[in-house]
């Protein structure tokens, strides 16, 4: 079975920038648990205070190349 194409850094960054508090970038990277956690935190208004900075930090980490996909592969 051929390996899946690597996830793109720019796509992950744009998803984090525009839809970060919803955790869409984590779903894209295959990290469904973190995506669900961010989504639930954002839906609960009080949790949005946590979810917004979380998404911002992850956005910075994506650009710096410090985040891998769920399989541990670096972003292309």
Predicted confidence band of residue 2 (pLDDT cuts 50, 70, 90): low
In a domain, 76, yes or no: no
Examine residue 71 and state whether it is found in any structural domain, yes or no. Answer: no
Model confidence at 12: pLDDT above 90: yes
Residue 65's pLDDT band, with cuts at 50, 70 and 90, is very high
Look at residue 70 and tell me if it is in a domain: no
pTM of the complete model: 0.91
Structural domain of residue 54, as residue ranges? 9-64
Asked if residue 27 is part of any domain, the answer here is: yes
pLDDT at 1 over 70: no
CA–CA dist 61, 67 (Å, integer): 6
Mean pLDDT, range 33-45, rounded to an integer: 93
At 66, the pLDDT band (50, 70, 90 cuts) reads very high
How far is the C-alpha of 48 from the C-alpha of 65, rounded, in Å? 25
Is residue 2 included in any domain, yes or no? no
72, part of any domain: no
Q: Is 22 within a domain?
A: yes
What total number of domains does the chain contain? 1
User: Are residues 13 and 66 in contact, defined by beta-carbon separation less than 8 angstroms?
Assistant: no
């Amino acid at each position: 079975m051929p390996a899946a194409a690597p996830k793109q850094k720019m796509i992950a960054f744009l998803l984090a920038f525009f839809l970060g508090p919803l955790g869409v970038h984590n779903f894209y990277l295959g990290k469904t648990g973190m995506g669900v956690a961010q989504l639930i935190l954002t839906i609960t208004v009080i949790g949005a205070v946590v979810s917004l900075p979380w998404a911002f930090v992850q956005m910075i980490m994506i650009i710096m190349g410090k985040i891998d996909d769920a399989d541990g592969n670096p972003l292309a």
